[in-house]
């Protein structure tokens, strides 16, 4: 799976839009969907989501992750 997807009964949301939809259901994150509608913010959120999604295996299981432009791999201890 490349991105998180959420079905709300009317349509399918993916990526940062899915995060925003879920955040809108949590009382303390309700402003997030409105912020993502601001010009430029949605595209930044999508890029941030994609960057995190591409490296999610590094965040979850602590596997070896190469730093771009580096010839060293570092495994967290």
Give residue-wise pLDDT tens across range 35-70.
888 888 888 888 888 888 777 767 666 555 655 555
CB 14 within 8 A of CB 3: yes
Q: Read off the pLDDT of residues 5-44 as tens digits, 9 standing for 90 and up.
A: 888 888 888 888 888 888 888 888 888 888 888 888 888 8
Cβ-based neighbours of 75, under 8 Å, separated by 6 or more: 62, 63, 64
* Helices and strands in the chain, H and E counts: 4, 4
Domain extent listing, the chain: 5-70
With the C-alpha atoms ordered 2, 61, 66, 40, is the resulting torsion angle positive or negative? Answer: positive
Please report the pLDDT score of residue 11 as a whole number: 87
Q: Enumerate the H helices of the chain as residue ranges.
A: 16-23, 31-36, 41-54, 56-61
Q: What is the pTM of this model?
A: 0.58
């Amino acid at each position: 799976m490349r991105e998180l997807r959420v079905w709300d009964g009317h349509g399918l949301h993916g990526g940062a839009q899915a995060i925003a939809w879920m955040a809108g259901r949590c009382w303390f994150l309700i402003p997030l969907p409105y912020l993502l509608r601001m010009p430029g913010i949605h595209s930044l959120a999508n890029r941030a989501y994609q960057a995190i999604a591409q490296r999610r295996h590094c965040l979850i299981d602590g596997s070896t992750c190469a730093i771009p432009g580096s010839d060293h791999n570092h495994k967290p201890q």
